[in-house]
Amino acid sequence: MLIRRKEAKDYGTKKLIEGRFEQGEKCLIIEDVVTSGTSVMETVDALKSVGVVVTDAVVLLDREQGGADRLSSQGIKLHSVCTLTKVLDILQKADKLSAEMVKKVQTFISENKFEPITVNKRAVSDDTRNSSESNKRNKKCLKYSERQDLCYNVNGKKLFAIMEAKKTNLAFSADLTYSQTLLDMVDCIGPHVCMVKTHVDILDDFTPQFTEQLKKLASKHNFMIFEDRKFADIGHTVKHQYSGGVHRISGWADITNAHIVPGDGVIKGLKEVGIKEGKSCVLIAEMSSEGNLATGDYTKACLKMGEEHRDFVIGYICQSRLSTDPAFIHMTPGVQLKEGIDALGQKYLTPHEVIANKHSDVIIVGRGIYSAEDPLAAAKMYQEAGYKAYESQFD
Ligand code: 5BU
17 lines ligand 1 (CB under 6 A): no
Catalytic residue flag (residue 239):
no
Write down the mean pLDDT value for the chain: 90
pLDDT tens sequence across 333-368: 999 999 999 999 999 999 999 999 999 999 999 999
Mind giving me the DSSP string for 170-233?
EEEE---SSHHHHHHHHHHHGGG-SEEEE-GGG-TT--HHHHHHHHHHHHHHT-EEEEEEEE-S
pLDDT tens sequence across 181-225: 999 999 999 999 999 999 999 999 999 999 999 999 999 999 999
Q: Is the pLDDT of residue 59 over 80?
A: yes
Distance 72 CA to ligand 1 centre (A): 37
> Lowest mean pLDDT: which of 5-19, 67-81, 164-178, 195-209?
5-19
Protein residue with least CA distance to atom 1, ligand 1: 366
302 lines ligand 1 (CB under 6 A): no
368 lines ligand 1 (CB under 6 A): yes
Mind giving me the DSSP string for 68-114?
HHHHHTTT-EEEEEEEHHHHHHHHHHTTSS-HHHHHHHHHHHHHSPP
Catalytic residue flag (residue 139):
no
Interatomic CA distance for residues 271 and 89, integer angstroms: 46
Mind giving me the DSSP string for 337-353?
SS-EE-TTSBEEB-HHI
Distance 121 CA to ligand 1 centre (A): 25
Q: Residue-wise over 35-45: b if at least 16 C-beta within 10 A, else e?
A: bbbbbbbbbbb
Q: Is the pLDDT of residue 8 over 70?
A: no
- 3-state SS, residue 160: helix
Distance 143 CA to ligand 1 centre (A): 26
**Ligand 1 nearest atom to the CA of residue 367, by list position:** 2
Q: Which of 346, 349, 363 is the pocket-test mutation for ligand 1 (most atoms within 8 Å of CB)?
A: 346
295 lines ligand 1 (CB under 6 A): no
pLDDT band at 256 (very low <50, low <70, confident <90, very high): very high
Q: What is the pLDDT of residue 115?
A: 67
- 3-state SS, residue 327: coil
Protein residue with least CA distance to atom 17, ligand 1: 288
